[in-house]
Chain A
Amino acid sequence: MHQTWQWLPAAEFSATLVAVMPEDVRTVVESVFRRESGKIIAGLIRRFGDFDIAEEAMQDAMLAALDHWATEGAPGNPAAWITTTAQRKAIDRLRRSRTRDEYQSAANHDAPAPLDEMESPSPFQDDRLPLIFTCCHPALGLDAQVVLTLRTLGGLTTPEIARAFLVPEATLAQRLVRAKRKIREAKIPYRVPSAEQLPERLEAALSVLYLIFNEGYSATAGDALVRRDLASEAIRLTRLLLELMPGQHDVAGLLALMLLQDSRRAARLDADGELVVLEGQDRDKWDHGQIAEALRLLEGLGRIVDPGPYLLQAAIAAEHARAAKAQKTDWSRIAILYGALQRIQPSPVIALNRAVAVAMAYGYEQGLALMDELRQAGELDHYHLYHAARADLLRRLGRKDEAAAAYRVALRLATNQAERRYLERRLSDVSG
Protein backbone atom coordinates (compact mmCIF):
# COMPACT_ATOMS: atom_id res chain seq x y z
CA MET A 1 0.00 0.00 0.00
CA HIS A 2 1.41 3.32 -0.98
CA GLN A 3 2.00 5.75 1.83
CA THR A 4 0.51 9.20 1.53
CA TRP A 5 2.34 12.09 2.98
CA GLN A 6 1.73 15.76 3.48
CA TRP A 7 3.73 18.84 4.15
CA LEU A 8 3.44 20.20 7.63
CA PRO A 9 1.63 23.44 6.92
CA ALA A 10 3.58 26.53 7.90
CA ALA A 11 1.05 27.27 10.64
CA GLU A 12 1.79 23.95 12.32
CA PHE A 13 5.48 24.67 12.26
CA SER A 14 4.73 27.87 14.13
CA ALA A 15 2.45 26.30 16.67
CA THR A 16 4.71 23.43 17.65
CA LEU A 17 8.00 25.21 17.56
CA VAL A 18 7.43 28.63 18.96
CA ALA A 19 7.99 27.42 22.50
CA VAL A 20 11.27 25.62 21.89
CA MET A 21 12.83 27.50 19.01
CA PRO A 22 14.18 30.98 18.89
CA GLU A 23 11.81 32.99 16.72
CA ASP A 24 14.45 33.79 14.10
CA VAL A 25 15.28 30.15 13.34
CA ARG A 26 11.68 29.35 12.59
CA THR A 27 11.45 32.44 10.41
CA VAL A 28 14.61 31.55 8.48
CA VAL A 29 13.42 27.98 7.90
CA GLU A 30 9.99 29.12 6.75
CA SER A 31 11.35 31.71 4.39
CA VAL A 32 13.87 29.27 2.91
CA PHE A 33 10.97 26.89 2.41
CA ARG A 34 8.83 29.48 0.64
CA ARG A 35 11.61 30.74 -1.58
CA GLU A 36 13.62 27.63 -2.28
CA SER A 37 11.47 24.54 -1.87
CA GLY A 38 10.55 24.38 -5.58
CA LYS A 39 14.18 24.49 -6.61
CA ILE A 40 15.34 22.01 -3.98
CA ILE A 41 12.51 19.56 -4.66
CA ALA A 42 13.21 19.78 -8.38
CA GLY A 43 16.85 18.89 -7.79
CA LEU A 44 15.86 15.95 -5.60
CA ILE A 45 13.38 14.68 -8.19
CA ARG A 46 16.01 14.91 -10.93
CA ARG A 47 18.43 12.99 -8.78
CA PHE A 48 16.18 10.32 -7.29
CA GLY A 49 13.50 10.16 -9.96
CA ASP A 50 10.66 10.00 -7.45
CA PHE A 51 8.29 12.68 -6.14
CA ASP A 52 7.60 10.99 -2.81
CA ILE A 53 11.21 10.39 -1.91
CA ALA A 54 12.01 14.01 -2.82
CA GLU A 55 9.17 15.43 -0.73
CA GLU A 56 9.82 13.22 2.25
CA ALA A 57 13.53 14.02 2.19
CA MET A 58 12.73 17.74 1.95
CA GLN A 59 10.46 17.44 4.97
CA ASP A 60 13.15 15.56 6.90
CA ALA A 61 15.66 18.27 6.03
CA MET A 62 13.35 21.06 7.17
CA LEU A 63 12.88 19.36 10.53
CA ALA A 64 16.63 18.77 10.82
CA ALA A 65 17.20 22.46 10.07
CA LEU A 66 14.84 23.52 12.87
CA ASP A 67 16.69 21.21 15.20
CA HIS A 68 20.30 22.02 14.28
CA TRP A 69 20.04 25.70 13.62
CA ALA A 70 18.47 26.30 17.01
CA THR A 71 21.51 24.88 18.78
CA GLU A 72 24.29 25.68 16.30
CA GLY A 73 22.92 28.73 14.56
CA ALA A 74 21.82 29.04 10.93
CA PRO A 75 24.48 28.32 8.28
CA GLY A 76 25.71 30.99 5.87
CA ASN A 77 23.84 29.43 2.95
CA PRO A 78 20.64 27.92 4.40
CA ALA A 79 19.34 26.73 1.01
CA ALA A 80 22.53 24.78 0.29
CA TRP A 81 22.46 23.27 3.78
CA ILE A 82 18.90 22.08 3.27
CA THR A 83 19.64 20.77 -0.23
CA THR A 84 22.57 18.69 0.97
CA THR A 85 20.79 17.45 4.05
CA ALA A 86 17.75 16.50 1.96
CA GLN A 87 19.95 14.52 -0.42
CA ARG A 88 21.43 12.59 2.49
CA LYS A 89 18.00 12.00 3.98
CA ALA A 90 16.76 10.68 0.63
CA ILE A 91 19.62 8.21 0.44
CA ASP A 92 18.97 7.16 4.05
CA ARG A 93 15.34 6.57 3.23
CA LEU A 94 16.20 4.58 0.14
CA ARG A 95 18.64 2.45 2.10
CA ARG A 96 16.18 1.83 4.87
CA SER A 97 13.02 1.18 2.93
CA ARG A 98 14.12 -0.57 -0.21
CA THR A 99 16.12 -3.50 -1.31
CA ARG A 100 19.64 -2.90 -2.44
CA ASP A 101 18.76 -3.41 -6.11
CA GLU A 102 16.06 -0.83 -6.03
CA TYR A 103 18.29 1.54 -4.21
CA GLN A 104 20.86 1.20 -6.95
CA SER A 105 18.38 1.64 -9.75
CA ALA A 106 16.76 4.68 -8.12
CA ALA A 107 20.02 6.39 -7.30
CA ASN A 108 21.66 5.61 -10.59
CA HIS A 109 23.55 8.85 -10.40
CA ASP A 110 26.82 9.42 -8.64
CA ALA A 111 26.89 9.52 -4.87
CA PRO A 112 26.31 12.87 -3.23
CA ALA A 113 29.32 15.01 -2.49
CA PRO A 114 30.33 15.40 1.14
CA LEU A 115 28.69 18.29 2.92
CA ASP A 116 31.64 20.65 2.79
CA GLU A 117 32.11 20.12 -0.95
CA MET A 118 28.53 21.00 -1.78
CA GLU A 119 27.98 24.30 -3.46
CA SER A 120 24.86 26.32 -3.76
CA PRO A 121 22.82 25.28 -6.82
CA SER A 122 24.22 26.69 -10.04
CA PRO A 123 22.22 29.62 -11.39
CA PHE A 124 22.60 28.28 -14.92
CA GLN A 125 21.13 24.90 -14.38
CA ASP A 126 17.65 25.00 -13.00
CA ASP A 127 15.94 21.71 -12.33
CA ARG A 128 12.58 23.44 -12.18
CA LEU A 129 12.22 23.77 -15.95
CA PRO A 130 11.79 20.04 -16.65
CA LEU A 131 9.67 19.76 -13.51
CA ILE A 132 7.19 22.33 -14.85
CA PHE A 133 6.63 20.03 -17.81
CA THR A 134 6.19 16.99 -15.58
CA CYS A 135 3.66 18.73 -13.34
CA CYS A 136 1.76 20.23 -16.30
CA HIS A 137 1.79 17.00 -18.31
CA PRO A 138 -1.48 16.65 -20.23
CA ALA A 139 -1.53 12.91 -19.50
CA LEU A 140 -2.52 13.99 -15.99
CA GLY A 141 -5.96 15.40 -15.29
CA LEU A 142 -6.12 19.19 -15.23
CA ASP A 143 -7.00 19.24 -11.51
CA ALA A 144 -3.98 17.10 -10.75
CA GLN A 145 -1.73 19.33 -12.86
CA VAL A 146 -2.81 22.40 -10.91
CA VAL A 147 -2.31 20.83 -7.49
CA LEU A 148 1.00 19.23 -8.40
CA THR A 149 2.34 22.50 -9.82
CA LEU A 150 1.32 24.54 -6.81
CA ARG A 151 2.65 22.10 -4.28
CA THR A 152 5.83 20.97 -5.96
CA LEU A 153 6.95 24.17 -7.62
CA GLY A 154 4.97 26.76 -5.75
CA GLY A 155 5.69 25.62 -2.22
CA LEU A 156 2.04 25.89 -1.21
CA THR A 157 0.91 23.33 1.33
CA THR A 158 -1.92 20.90 0.72
CA PRO A 159 -4.17 22.65 3.29
CA GLU A 160 -3.50 26.02 1.63
CA ILE A 161 -4.40 24.67 -1.79
CA ALA A 162 -7.48 22.99 -0.36
CA ARG A 163 -8.63 26.30 1.14
CA ALA A 164 -8.00 28.18 -2.09
CA PHE A 165 -10.02 25.76 -4.20
CA LEU A 166 -12.60 24.90 -1.54
CA VAL A 167 -11.82 21.21 -1.95
CA PRO A 168 -11.61 18.88 1.04
CA GLU A 169 -7.99 18.17 1.94
CA ALA A 170 -8.55 14.43 1.70
CA THR A 171 -9.79 14.80 -1.90
CA LEU A 172 -6.74 16.84 -2.77
CA ALA A 173 -4.37 14.39 -1.11
CA GLN A 174 -6.03 11.55 -3.02
CA ARG A 175 -5.57 13.43 -6.30
CA LEU A 176 -1.89 13.89 -5.51
CA VAL A 177 -1.38 10.22 -4.69
CA ARG A 178 -3.04 9.19 -7.93
CA ALA A 179 -1.05 11.69 -10.02
CA LYS A 180 2.26 10.68 -8.48
CA ARG A 181 1.42 7.05 -9.00
CA LYS A 182 0.74 7.70 -12.67
CA ILE A 183 4.00 9.64 -13.03
CA ARG A 184 5.86 6.70 -11.55
CA GLU A 185 4.06 3.78 -13.19
CA ALA A 186 3.46 5.26 -16.64
CA LYS A 187 6.87 6.96 -16.47
CA ILE A 188 5.86 10.50 -17.23
CA PRO A 189 9.29 11.90 -17.90
CA TYR A 190 11.17 14.54 -16.03
CA ARG A 191 12.59 16.52 -18.94
CA VAL A 192 11.93 19.39 -21.28
CA PRO A 193 9.86 17.95 -24.16
CA SER A 194 11.43 17.33 -27.56
CA ALA A 195 11.35 20.18 -30.07
CA GLU A 196 8.52 18.38 -31.84
CA GLN A 197 6.34 18.16 -28.72
CA LEU A 198 7.40 21.44 -27.12
CA PRO A 199 4.84 23.84 -28.68
CA GLU A 200 1.83 21.78 -27.56
CA ARG A 201 3.33 21.03 -24.16
CA LEU A 202 4.30 24.63 -23.51
CA GLU A 203 0.75 25.64 -24.41
CA ALA A 204 -0.51 23.10 -21.88
CA ALA A 205 1.82 24.43 -19.16
CA LEU A 206 0.77 28.02 -19.84
CA SER A 207 -2.89 27.10 -19.61
CA VAL A 208 -2.27 25.55 -16.17
CA LEU A 209 -0.48 28.68 -14.97
CA TYR A 210 -3.25 30.92 -16.31
CA LEU A 211 -5.88 28.72 -14.68
CA ILE A 212 -4.09 29.12 -11.33
CA PHE A 213 -3.89 32.86 -11.86
CA ASN A 214 -7.57 33.15 -12.73
CA GLU A 215 -8.56 31.06 -9.76
CA GLY A 216 -6.70 33.57 -7.64
CA TYR A 217 -7.83 36.65 -9.51
CA SER A 218 -11.47 36.08 -10.25
CA ALA A 219 -12.45 32.98 -8.33
CA THR A 220 -16.08 32.76 -7.42
CA ALA A 221 -15.32 31.31 -4.02
CA GLY A 222 -12.57 30.67 -1.51
CA ASP A 223 -10.52 32.51 1.06
CA ALA A 224 -9.56 35.96 -0.34
CA LEU A 225 -6.07 36.01 1.14
CA VAL A 226 -5.19 32.56 -0.12
CA ARG A 227 -6.54 33.44 -3.53
CA ARG A 228 -4.24 36.46 -3.61
CA ASP A 229 -1.41 33.96 -3.00
CA LEU A 230 -2.54 31.89 -5.97
CA ALA A 231 -2.37 34.89 -8.30
CA SER A 232 1.09 35.93 -7.12
CA GLU A 233 2.27 32.32 -7.23
CA ALA A 234 1.09 32.04 -10.85
CA ILE A 235 2.94 35.25 -11.69
CA ARG A 236 6.07 34.02 -9.94
CA LEU A 237 6.02 30.70 -11.80
CA THR A 238 5.36 32.36 -15.17
CA ARG A 239 8.21 34.78 -14.53
CA LEU A 240 10.41 31.79 -13.72
CA LEU A 241 9.34 30.03 -16.93
CA LEU A 242 10.20 33.15 -18.93
CA GLU A 243 13.62 33.34 -17.28
CA LEU A 244 14.20 29.70 -18.21
CA MET A 245 12.83 30.04 -21.75
CA PRO A 246 13.57 33.65 -22.65
CA GLY A 247 12.84 33.29 -26.38
CA GLN A 248 9.22 32.18 -25.94
CA HIS A 249 6.96 35.13 -26.72
CA ASP A 250 3.84 33.25 -25.61
CA VAL A 251 5.35 33.04 -22.12
CA ALA A 252 6.16 36.76 -22.17
CA GLY A 253 2.62 37.40 -23.38
CA LEU A 254 1.11 35.43 -20.52
CA LEU A 255 3.30 37.14 -17.93
CA ALA A 256 2.36 40.58 -19.29
CA LEU A 257 -1.31 39.59 -19.30
CA MET A 258 -1.20 38.44 -15.68
CA LEU A 259 0.65 41.56 -14.56
CA LEU A 260 -1.81 43.85 -16.32
CA GLN A 261 -4.83 42.09 -14.86
CA ASP A 262 -3.29 41.94 -11.41
CA SER A 263 -2.38 45.64 -11.58
CA ARG A 264 -6.09 46.45 -11.34
CA ARG A 265 -6.68 44.37 -8.25
CA ALA A 266 -6.88 47.28 -5.79
CA ALA A 267 -9.27 49.21 -8.06
CA ARG A 268 -11.64 46.35 -8.82
CA LEU A 269 -13.59 46.68 -5.59
CA ASP A 270 -14.75 49.89 -3.93
CA ALA A 271 -14.63 50.73 -0.20
CA ASP A 272 -17.77 48.62 0.37
CA GLY A 273 -16.30 45.64 -1.44
CA GLU A 274 -18.51 46.25 -4.48
CA LEU A 275 -17.31 45.43 -7.98
CA VAL A 276 -16.13 48.40 -10.05
CA VAL A 277 -16.12 47.96 -13.85
CA LEU A 278 -13.01 48.96 -15.77
CA GLU A 279 -14.55 52.20 -16.99
CA GLY A 280 -15.31 53.38 -13.46
CA GLN A 281 -12.06 52.31 -11.79
CA ASP A 282 -9.82 54.83 -10.07
CA ARG A 283 -6.75 54.52 -12.26
CA ASP A 284 -4.52 55.95 -9.54
CA LYS A 285 -5.16 52.75 -7.64
CA TRP A 286 -3.73 50.62 -10.43
CA ASP A 287 -0.32 49.17 -9.69
CA HIS A 288 1.78 51.23 -12.06
CA GLY A 289 4.91 49.22 -11.27
CA GLN A 290 3.24 46.08 -12.62
CA ILE A 291 1.90 48.01 -15.62
CA ALA A 292 5.36 49.38 -16.43
CA GLU A 293 6.89 45.90 -16.20
CA ALA A 294 4.21 44.48 -18.51
CA LEU A 295 4.56 47.27 -21.06
CA ARG A 296 8.35 46.87 -21.04
CA LEU A 297 7.91 43.15 -21.64
CA LEU A 298 5.56 43.72 -24.58
CA GLU A 299 7.68 46.46 -26.12
CA GLY A 300 10.79 44.31 -25.70
CA LEU A 301 9.25 41.68 -27.96
CA GLY A 302 9.35 43.91 -31.01
CA ARG A 303 7.20 42.90 -33.92
CA ILE A 304 5.60 39.47 -33.62
CA VAL A 305 4.31 37.99 -36.86
CA ASP A 306 2.06 35.32 -35.37
CA PRO A 307 1.03 36.45 -31.89
CA GLY A 308 -0.54 33.77 -29.73
CA PRO A 309 -3.72 34.21 -27.70
CA TYR A 310 -1.99 35.38 -24.50
CA LEU A 311 0.01 37.99 -26.33
CA LEU A 312 -3.12 39.34 -28.02
CA GLN A 313 -4.99 39.45 -24.72
CA ALA A 314 -2.02 41.21 -23.13
CA ALA A 315 -2.01 43.73 -25.99
CA ILE A 316 -5.70 44.41 -25.31
CA ALA A 317 -5.09 44.82 -21.58
CA ALA A 318 -2.14 47.11 -22.41
CA GLU A 319 -4.45 49.40 -24.42
CA HIS A 320 -6.57 49.86 -21.31
CA ALA A 321 -3.50 50.34 -19.14
CA ARG A 322 -2.07 53.02 -21.43
CA ALA A 323 -5.22 55.15 -21.33
CA ALA A 324 -4.89 57.76 -18.59
CA LYS A 325 -8.69 58.09 -18.53
CA ALA A 326 -11.39 55.64 -19.65
CA GLN A 327 -12.44 58.15 -22.34
CA LYS A 328 -8.96 58.01 -23.87
CA THR A 329 -9.13 54.26 -24.54
CA ASP A 330 -8.28 53.38 -28.13
CA TRP A 331 -11.31 51.18 -28.73
CA SER A 332 -10.78 50.86 -32.47
CA ARG A 333 -7.40 49.24 -31.80
CA ILE A 334 -8.98 46.97 -29.20
CA ALA A 335 -11.63 45.95 -31.74
CA ILE A 336 -8.87 45.01 -34.21
CA LEU A 337 -7.04 42.97 -31.55
CA TYR A 338 -10.23 41.11 -30.62
CA GLY A 339 -10.75 40.43 -34.31
CA ALA A 340 -7.26 38.88 -34.48
CA LEU A 341 -7.96 36.85 -31.34
CA GLN A 342 -11.26 35.66 -32.78
CA ARG A 343 -9.41 34.37 -35.86
CA ILE A 344 -6.96 32.21 -33.92
CA GLN A 345 -9.30 31.21 -31.11
CA PRO A 346 -12.88 31.48 -32.33
CA SER A 347 -15.26 31.77 -29.40
CA PRO A 348 -18.58 33.51 -28.81
CA VAL A 349 -17.15 35.21 -25.70
CA ILE A 350 -14.37 36.82 -27.73
CA ALA A 351 -16.91 37.80 -30.37
CA LEU A 352 -18.94 39.44 -27.60
CA ASN A 353 -15.91 41.41 -26.43
CA ARG A 354 -15.25 42.51 -29.98
CA ALA A 355 -18.85 43.69 -30.24
CA VAL A 356 -18.36 45.80 -27.09
CA ALA A 357 -15.16 47.32 -28.53
CA VAL A 358 -16.92 48.07 -31.82
CA ALA A 359 -19.77 49.73 -29.89
CA MET A 360 -17.34 51.94 -27.99
CA ALA A 361 -15.30 52.79 -31.11
CA TYR A 362 -17.98 53.22 -33.78
CA GLY A 363 -21.32 53.59 -32.01
CA TYR A 364 -23.61 51.66 -29.67
CA GLU A 365 -26.02 50.76 -32.46
CA GLN A 366 -23.29 48.98 -34.38
CA GLY A 367 -22.23 47.03 -31.32
CA LEU A 368 -25.83 46.11 -30.58
CA ALA A 369 -26.29 44.84 -34.13
CA LEU A 370 -23.25 42.57 -33.73
CA MET A 371 -24.63 41.30 -30.41
CA ASP A 372 -27.97 40.47 -32.00
CA GLU A 373 -26.16 38.47 -34.67
CA LEU A 374 -24.35 36.59 -31.93
CA ARG A 375 -27.57 35.85 -30.15
CA GLN A 376 -28.99 34.30 -33.29
CA ALA A 377 -26.09 31.86 -33.25
CA GLY A 378 -27.58 30.89 -29.89
CA GLU A 379 -24.44 30.08 -27.96
CA LEU A 380 -24.51 33.01 -25.55
CA ASP A 381 -28.08 32.86 -24.34
CA HIS A 382 -27.06 31.34 -21.01
CA TYR A 383 -24.07 33.60 -20.48
CA HIS A 384 -24.86 36.34 -17.97
CA LEU A 385 -22.17 38.68 -19.28
CA TYR A 386 -23.79 38.65 -22.72
CA HIS A 387 -27.02 40.01 -21.28
CA ALA A 388 -25.13 42.41 -19.02
CA ALA A 389 -23.13 43.80 -21.96
CA ARG A 390 -26.25 44.14 -24.09
CA ALA A 391 -28.11 45.82 -21.23
CA ASP A 392 -25.23 48.24 -20.88
CA LEU A 393 -25.44 49.34 -24.53
CA LEU A 394 -29.23 49.71 -24.29
CA ARG A 395 -28.78 51.83 -21.16
CA ARG A 396 -26.27 54.06 -22.95
CA LEU A 397 -28.75 54.44 -25.82
CA GLY A 398 -31.45 55.50 -23.32
CA ARG A 399 -33.61 52.45 -24.11
CA LYS A 400 -34.36 51.97 -20.42
CA ASP A 401 -37.14 49.36 -20.57
CA GLU A 402 -35.15 47.06 -22.83
CA ALA A 403 -32.05 47.63 -20.68
CA ALA A 404 -33.97 46.69 -17.52
CA ALA A 405 -35.26 43.51 -19.16
CA ALA A 406 -31.74 42.52 -20.19
CA TYR A 407 -30.35 43.25 -16.70
CA ARG A 408 -33.03 40.99 -15.25
CA VAL A 409 -32.00 38.13 -17.54
CA ALA A 410 -28.35 38.69 -16.57
CA LEU A 411 -29.30 38.63 -12.88
CA ARG A 412 -31.15 35.36 -13.31
CA LEU A 413 -27.97 33.80 -14.71
CA ALA A 414 -25.24 35.39 -12.56
CA THR A 415 -23.94 33.48 -9.52
CA ASN A 416 -21.04 35.62 -8.26
CA GLN A 417 -22.36 37.80 -5.40
CA ALA A 418 -20.31 40.89 -6.26
CA GLU A 419 -21.47 40.67 -9.86
CA ARG A 420 -25.07 40.26 -8.77
CA ARG A 421 -24.94 43.37 -6.60
CA TYR A 422 -23.45 45.32 -9.49
CA LEU A 423 -26.23 44.19 -11.80
CA GLU A 424 -28.86 45.03 -9.19
CA ARG A 425 -27.50 48.57 -8.89
CA ARG A 426 -27.59 48.98 -12.66
CA LEU A 427 -31.11 47.62 -12.80
CA SER A 428 -32.34 50.11 -10.20
CA ASP A 429 -30.61 52.93 -12.16
CA VAL A 430 -32.60 52.18 -15.30
CA SER A 431 -35.80 51.32 -13.48
CA GLY A 432 -35.94 54.70 -11.71
Chain B
Amino acid sequence: MRFMLIVYLDEEAETSKSDAERDEMFRRCFVHSAEWKRQGVMEAGEPLHPTSTSTTVRVRGGKTILTDGPFAETKEQLGGYYIVDCANEQDAVRLAAEAAEIHRNPFGAIEVRPILEFSAP
Protein backbone atom coordinates (compact mmCIF):
# COMPACT_ATOMS: atom_id res chain seq x y z
CA MET B 1 0.00 0.00 0.00
CA ARG B 2 1.26 3.43 -0.88
CA PHE B 3 1.02 6.44 1.37
CA MET B 4 1.94 10.08 1.17
CA LEU B 5 3.69 11.39 4.27
CA ILE B 6 3.06 15.12 4.30
CA VAL B 7 5.68 16.93 6.33
CA TYR B 8 4.55 20.00 8.27
CA LEU B 9 7.11 22.04 10.14
CA ASP B 10 7.50 25.34 11.87
CA GLU B 11 9.32 27.44 9.28
CA GLU B 12 10.34 29.98 11.89
CA ALA B 13 12.15 27.27 13.84
CA GLU B 14 13.84 26.14 10.63
CA THR B 15 15.03 29.62 9.64
CA SER B 16 16.38 30.29 13.13
CA LYS B 17 18.64 27.25 12.82
CA SER B 18 22.29 28.01 12.10
CA ASP B 19 23.76 27.01 8.73
CA ALA B 20 25.65 24.22 10.45
CA GLU B 21 22.49 22.93 12.14
CA ARG B 22 20.62 23.03 8.85
CA ASP B 23 23.40 21.26 6.98
CA GLU B 24 23.42 18.61 9.70
CA MET B 25 19.64 18.19 9.37
CA PHE B 26 19.87 17.81 5.59
CA ARG B 27 22.69 15.31 6.01
CA ARG B 28 20.57 13.27 8.46
CA CYS B 29 17.68 13.35 5.99
CA PHE B 30 19.87 12.18 3.12
CA VAL B 31 21.29 9.30 5.10
CA HIS B 32 17.85 8.37 6.33
CA SER B 33 16.27 8.53 2.86
CA ALA B 34 19.07 6.35 1.49
CA GLU B 35 18.33 3.82 4.21
CA TRP B 36 14.59 3.84 3.42
CA LYS B 37 15.36 3.39 -0.26
CA ARG B 38 17.66 0.48 0.56
CA GLN B 39 14.82 -1.11 2.56
CA GLY B 40 12.55 -0.52 -0.42
CA VAL B 41 9.96 1.53 1.49
CA MET B 42 10.59 4.95 -0.03
CA GLU B 43 9.59 5.73 -3.60
CA ALA B 44 10.12 9.45 -3.64
CA GLY B 45 10.49 12.46 -1.38
CA GLU B 46 11.28 16.13 -1.78
CA PRO B 47 11.87 19.10 0.47
CA LEU B 48 10.18 22.30 -0.74
CA HIS B 49 11.29 25.90 -0.62
CA PRO B 50 9.53 27.80 2.20
CA THR B 51 6.00 29.14 1.82
CA SER B 52 7.35 32.62 1.11
CA THR B 53 8.17 31.29 -2.37
CA SER B 54 4.65 29.93 -2.89
CA THR B 55 2.08 31.26 -5.30
CA THR B 56 -1.56 30.23 -5.06
CA VAL B 57 -3.46 30.01 -8.32
CA ARG B 58 -7.22 30.26 -8.64
CA VAL B 59 -9.40 30.82 -11.67
CA ARG B 60 -12.49 32.89 -11.01
CA GLY B 61 -14.80 34.33 -13.64
CA GLY B 62 -12.42 33.09 -16.33
CA LYS B 63 -9.52 35.08 -14.91
CA THR B 64 -6.37 33.63 -13.41
CA ILE B 65 -5.87 35.11 -9.96
CA LEU B 66 -2.47 34.78 -8.32
CA THR B 67 -1.84 35.27 -4.62
CA ASP B 68 1.58 35.60 -3.05
CA GLY B 69 1.91 32.90 -0.41
CA PRO B 70 0.57 29.45 0.39
CA PHE B 71 -2.97 28.12 0.08
CA ALA B 72 -3.68 28.69 3.76
CA GLU B 73 -1.80 30.43 6.53
CA THR B 74 -1.24 27.74 9.12
CA LYS B 75 0.84 27.69 12.27
CA GLU B 76 3.07 25.02 10.80
CA GLN B 77 3.76 24.83 7.10
CA LEU B 78 3.95 22.11 4.51
CA GLY B 79 7.65 21.65 3.95
CA GLY B 80 8.03 18.46 1.97
CA TYR B 81 6.71 14.97 1.43
CA TYR B 82 7.57 11.29 1.08
CA ILE B 83 5.86 8.60 -0.93
CA VAL B 84 6.24 5.29 0.87
CA ASP B 85 5.17 1.75 0.08
CA CYS B 86 4.47 -0.48 3.08
CA ALA B 87 2.20 -3.23 4.33
CA ASN B 88 -0.44 -1.20 6.13
CA GLU B 89 -1.43 2.05 7.77
CA GLN B 90 0.24 1.09 11.03
CA ASP B 91 3.56 0.75 9.25
CA ALA B 92 3.05 4.06 7.50
CA VAL B 93 2.44 5.82 10.83
CA ARG B 94 5.58 4.17 12.20
CA LEU B 95 7.55 5.47 9.21
CA ALA B 96 6.05 8.93 9.76
CA ALA B 97 7.19 8.93 13.38
CA GLU B 98 10.64 7.86 12.28
CA ALA B 99 10.83 10.73 9.78
CA ALA B 100 9.60 13.20 12.42
CA GLU B 101 12.42 12.01 14.66
CA ILE B 102 14.92 12.73 11.89
CA HIS B 103 13.56 16.22 11.17
CA ARG B 104 13.60 17.32 14.82
CA ASN B 105 11.31 20.25 14.18
CA PRO B 106 9.89 21.22 17.58
CA PHE B 107 6.31 21.78 16.38
CA GLY B 108 6.41 19.51 13.37
CA ALA B 109 3.85 16.94 12.38
CA ILE B 110 3.59 14.38 9.62
CA GLU B 111 0.25 13.60 8.10
CA VAL B 112 -0.19 10.13 6.67
CA ARG B 113 -2.59 9.80 3.80
CA PRO B 114 -3.31 6.71 1.66
CA ILE B 115 -2.79 7.23 -2.04
CA LEU B 116 -5.73 6.69 -4.33
CA GLU B 117 -4.68 4.05 -6.86
CA PHE B 118 -6.19 4.00 -10.33
CA SER B 119 -5.84 1.19 -12.80
CA ALA B 120 -3.48 2.61 -15.39
CA PRO B 121 -5.34 4.87 -17.81
A181 within 8 A of B: yes
B60 within 8 A of A: no
Complex contact B19–A186 (CB within 8 A): no
Complex contact B55–A178 (CB within 8 A): no
Complex interface residues of chain A between 181 and 202 (CB less than 8 A to chain B): 181-182, 185-186, 197, 200
A1 within 8 A of B: yes
Complex contact B52–A144 (CB within 8 A): no
Complex contact A182–B19 (CB within 8 A): no
**Most chain A Cβ neighbours within 10 Å, of B49, B68, B69:** B68
Q: Could you say which residues of chain A place their CB within 8 Å of the CB of B55? A: 139, 186
Complex contact B68–A144 (CB within 8 A): yes
Complex contact B68–A181 (CB within 8 A): no
A138 and B68 CA atoms in complex are apart in Å by 7
A87 and B53 CA atoms in complex are apart in Å by 28
Min CB distance, B21 to chain A, in Å? Answer: 13
Partner of A141, one of B53, B64, B65, B68: B68
Complex interface residues of chain B between 30 and 70 (CB less than 8 A to chain A): 49, 52-55, 63-66, 68-69
Min CB distance, A131 to chain B, in Å? Answer: 19
Contact with B along A149-178 (1 / 0, CB 8 A): 000000000000000000000000000001
Partner of A181, one of B53, B63, B64, B66: B53
Q: Could you say which residues of chain B place their CB within 8 Å of the CB of A185? A: 49, 53
Partner of B53, one of A1, A138, A182: A182
A380 within 8 A of B: no
Partner of B68, one of A1, A182, A197, A200: A182
Q: Could you say which residues of chain B place their CB within 8 Å of the CB of A200? A: 63-64
Min CB distance, A195 to chain B, in Å? Answer: 14
* Chain B residue nearest in CB terms to A1: B19
* Chain B residue nearest in CB terms to A178: B52
* Chain A residue nearest in CB terms to B19: A1
Q: How large is the interface on A (under 10, 10 to 19, 20 to 34, 35 or more residues)?
A: 10 to 19
Instruction: Using known A-B contacts A138-B66, A140-B68, determine if residue A181 contacts B19 with beta carbons closer than 8 Å.
Output: no
Complex contact A139–B19 (CB within 8 A): no
Q: How many A-B residue pairs have CB under 8 A?
A: 25
Q: Could you say which residues of chain B place their CB within 8 Å of the CB of A1? A: 19
A127 and B31 CA atoms in complex are apart in Å by 45
* Chain B residue nearest in CB terms to A138: B66
A20 and B55 CA atoms in complex are apart in Å by 49
Q: Could you say which residues of chain A place their CB within 8 Å of the CB of B63? A: 200
Partner of B49, one of A140, A141, A144, A186: A186
Q: Could you say which residues of chain A place their CB within 8 Å of the CB of B69? A: 141
Contact with A along B78-114 (1 / 0, CB 8 A): 0000000000000000000000000000000000000
Complex contact B68–A139 (CB within 8 A): yes
A281 and B18 CA atoms in complex are apart in Å by 62
* Chain A residue nearest in CB terms to B57: A139
Q: Could you say which residues of chain A place their CB within 8 Å of the CB of B66? A: 138-139
Q: Could you say which residues of chain A place their CB within 8 Å of the CB of B53? A: 181-182, 185-186
Q: Could you say which residues of chain B place their CB within 8 Å of the CB of A182? A: 52-53, 68
**Most chain A Cβ neighbours within 10 Å, of B19, B53, B64, B66:** B53
A185 and B48 CA atoms in complex are apart in Å by 10
Q: Could you say which residues of chain B place their CB within 8 Å of the CB of A138? A: 65-66
Min CB distance, B64 to chain A, in Å? Answer: 6
Min CB distance, A317 to chain B, in Å? Answer: 27
* Chain B residue nearest in CB terms to A204: B66
Q: Could you say which residues of chain A place their CB within 8 Å of the CB of B49? A: 185-186
A2 and B62 CA atoms in complex are apart in Å by 39
Min CB distance, B94 to chain A, in Å? Answer: 33
A257 and B68 CA atoms in complex are apart in Å by 29
Min CB distance, A253 to chain B, in Å? Answer: 20
Complex interface residues of chain A between 115 and 157 (CB less than 8 A to chain B): 138-141, 144
Q: Could you say which residues of chain A place their CB within 8 Å of the CB of B54? A: 186
Complex interface residues of chain A between 1 and 33 (CB less than 8 A to chain B): 1
A139 and B63 CA atoms in complex are apart in Å by 14
Q: Could you say which residues of chain B place their CB within 8 Å of the CB of A197? A: 64
* Chain A residue nearest in CB terms to B69: A141
A181 and B15 CA atoms in complex are apart in Å by 14
Q: Could you say which residues of chain A place their CB within 8 Å of the CB of B19? A: 1
Q: Could you say which residues of chain A place their CB within 8 Å of the CB of B68? A: 139-141, 144, 182
A-B interface, 7 closest residue pairs, ranked by CB to CB distance from nearest: A139-B55, A138-B66, A141-B68, A186-B53, A185-B53, A185-B49, A139-B66
Q: Known contacts A138-B66, A144-B68, A186-B55; can you find 8 more A-B pairs with CB under 8 A?
A: A138-B65, A140-B68, A141-B68, A141-B69, A181-B52, A181-B53, A182-B68, A186-B53
8 pairs, CB–CB < 8 Å, chain A vs chain B: A139-B55, A140-B68, A141-B68, A141-B69, A178-B52, A186-B53, A197-B64, A200-B63
- What is B's interface to A at a CB cutoff of 8 Å? 19, 49, 52-55, 63-66, 68-69
